[in-house]
């Protein structure tokens, strides 16, 4: 049987986005992340990071810096009993035409193939229209955007739910998962 996952964007969703975030000393977990991911893990969802990292392609940092930052994130969450199953990243520039850069669904499809995810039973949590589009194109059950200001990302479909933090996103997912599929875009947090 395939597993249910929550695919998580990183910068601006889990950690503070400093613009090409990669320096360990800039690591800052956003409010509600620990609580929300804990809820999802206790409900049986497996957690995976899927993130665009064009700073690698731009030469601002290398894959080793990305992996060092990911280890800090994973270790921090692990101290709270939260396991990140894996991290998938796209290092390419926006105009590279690759299949892995969100909004393309390649990272999600690769994660599903590698980890046995049931995309139709899985969710995407991100902060931008590209995250929503990638989730929909991959055939995920639903997507929710985290926006502290409550405003949708320009370009995001009007029916995509917007919540203030990952804890609210987790509550939204768990409500959707518990009952009949509700109409997308109605945050219940």
The pLDDT tens digits of the residues spanning 99-142 come to 999 999 999 999 999 999 999 999 999 999 999 999 999 999 99
Lowest-pLDDT range of 17-21, 122-126, 154-158, 183-187: 183-187
* Torsion sign over Cα 159, 165, 167, 168: negative
Write out pLDDT tens, residues 49-72: 999 999 999 999 999 999 999 999
pLDDT in tens, 76-87: 999 999 999 999
Asked if residue 61 lies in contact with residue 22, where contact means CB atoms within 8 angstroms, the answer is: yes
Q: How confident is residue 2, by pLDDT bands cut at 50, 70 and 90?
A: low
Domain positions in the chain are 5-178
Q: What is the mean pLDDT of residues 34-46?
A: 98
User: In this structure, what token pair is assigned to residue 20?
Assistant: 């090409």
Per-residue confidence (pLDDT) for residue 1, from 0 to 100 = 46
Over 80: is that where the pLDDT of 189 sits?
no
How many angstroms separate the Cα of 104 from the Cα of each of 89, 90, 99, 146, 156?
12, 10, 6, 20, 14
Is domain 5-178 annotated with CATH 3.40.50.2300? no
Q: Is the pLDDT of residue 180 over 80?
A: no
């Amino acid at each position: 049987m395939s597993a249910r996952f929550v695919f998580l964007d990183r910068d601006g969703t889990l950690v503070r986005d400093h613009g090409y975030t990669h320096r360990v000393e800039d690591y800052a977990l956003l409010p509600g992340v620990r609580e929300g991911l804990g809820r999802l893990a206790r409900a049986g969802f497996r957690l995976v990071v899927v993130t665009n990292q064009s700073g690698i392609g731009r030469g601002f940092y290398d894959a080793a810096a990305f992996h060092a930052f990911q280890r800090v994130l994973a270790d921090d969450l692990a101290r709270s009993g939260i396991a990140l199953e894996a991290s998938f990243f796209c290092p390419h520039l926006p105009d590279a035409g690759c299949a892995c850069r969100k909004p393309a669904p390649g990272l999600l499809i690769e994660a599903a193939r590698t980890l046995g995810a049931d995309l139709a039973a899985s969710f995407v949590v991100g902060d931008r229209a590209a995250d929503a589009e990638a989730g929909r194109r991959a055939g995920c059950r639903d997507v929710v955007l985290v926006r502290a200001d409550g405003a949708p990302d320009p370009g995001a479909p009007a029916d995509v739910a917007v919540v203030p933090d990952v804890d609210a996103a987790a509550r939204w997912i768990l409500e959707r998962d518990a009952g009949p599929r509700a109409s997308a875009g109605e945050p219940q947090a």
